[in-house]
Amino acid sequence: MQSTDYKSRRIATISKLKDGIAILPAATHMTRSNDTEFDFRQSSNFKYLTGSNEPDSILVLTPHAKKKDHLFVRPKDRMQEIWAGRRLGVEKSKDIFEMDEVYTLDQFDEILPELMKGHSEVFIDLNNETTLFNKVKKMAMGLDPRNRLKMPTPKAFRHLNTIIEKQRLIKDQNEILLMKKAAAATNKAHRAAMAMASSAHSEADLHNIMNYVFKKHGASGEAYGSIVAGGDNGTILHYVENNAPLIDGETLLIDAGSEYGTYASDVTRTFPINGKFSTIQKEIYEVVLRAMKASFSKSSPGHSLEEVHMASVKELSIGLKELGILSQSLDEIIEKNLFREFYPHGTSHWIGLDVHDQNPYLDKNFDPIKFQKGMCFTIEPGLYFQKDNVNIPEHFRGLAVRIEDDILITESSHENLTAMIPKEIKEVEAACQEDYKQFL
């Protein structure tokens, strides 16, 4: 794996700023309770442009200055480092991250006004960084109120995130490699869960073993809060309790993926707790799997997430008719969204540094983005039959099936990054017969 060229990423961002200065903060430690904190996770946009995992830093990009990229970092502090861990400091940060200039954070108020000169706009996160934005706005408005400097100073403020997030839409080879490593750890964890599932265990048992296997295979942990949902818990799209007993004869829906090098995987599998699908479970599963494969057929350059979604919608709607759930014509089911009672969510989202990567879904003409080589997204069709739905046969109520894989667009087609995780019925049932201890 070659080192990532973060400098080139910053240059690409600078080229889009025109007359604007960009200000991008790192994440900070978030309080969990009282004097304890959540595990630190770096801001995705900051990580993308710097490679730095240090909290409380600020990146400033100045297209109209001789020196283009500037980083403000925590100063070296022996006592603070004894308590909370090592800091890189100014000199190491400049060398490691290839910055034109690096300063300590306490110099920010003094240096930023000078960096603003020559720029007519400020690009900053307008949605989530209220305190920093208000501070920067006050600096900018007080910099040259009567235009005596005879040079541009910021008078307008624009949202920075959309520029970076558009860059992040196309993954480079290092990003793809990290996503493949996340997929590999996720494969091991899902196989361990399939092998361990039985009425002798609980949702919590499987959740715990998956987290262990993620880390055992190099991941930092979960990429998002896992869903481990037995029986009708699977009909709750964002089920989070993960603490119910597993019941023989029911299915288990697990939506879980690991994070590796800050890159996410996102995978869902549904399988029988006792290792063998019942006839009705199998019928529903086959409809969902067929929908997934229909969406695969639209996963190539020139197609879009909307086409991927509609491919699944069509097959799921056909399946609902075959199952006897809906009786209307296929056109009516789709036009009137009658399928949404059983398939209420979309089929895909972008994935990368974030499990729901904040990349654009529409182009400048408000048309769906067309796939290009290097784009990554999920495909996750499902069917959910609510327990309280008296309008469907009783044997469907409380059943849920979702299957999800991570897709990379290639030169002429696609690569399924998570294809190695069992999803064909025979593969799933065979995986359920394995010894979970081999994954520990």
Which residues have a catalytic role annotated? 35, 238, 255, 266, 345, 349, 356, 380, 384, 402, 404
Q: Which of 98, 77, 72, 84 is nearest to 10 (CA)?
A: 98
Distance CA(266)–CA(378), nearest Å, equals 7
Q: Which of 354, 380, 7, 412 is nearest to 175 (CA)?
A: 354
Q: Which of 293, 296, 213, 295 is nearest to 257 (CA)?
A: 213
405-409, strands of its sheet edge to edge: 376-379, 405-409, 414-416
Residue 439: DSSP 8-state:
G
Residue 154: DSSP 8-state:
-
Distance CA(7)–CA(50), nearest Å, equals 8
Q: Which of 50, 163, 147, 53 is nearest to 102 (CA)?
A: 50
Task: Report the alpha-carbon angle 217-223-228, nearest 5.
Answer: 90
- Give me 396's structure tokens: 């469907």
Q: Is 237 helix (H, G, I), strand (E, B) or coil?
A: coil
At 217, the amino acid letter reads: H
- Give me 274's structure tokens: 């006792």
Distance CA(367)–CA(239), nearest Å, equals 33
- Give me 391's structure tokens: 């309008």
Distance CA(260)–CA(186), nearest Å, equals 10
CA 151 to chain centre: 42
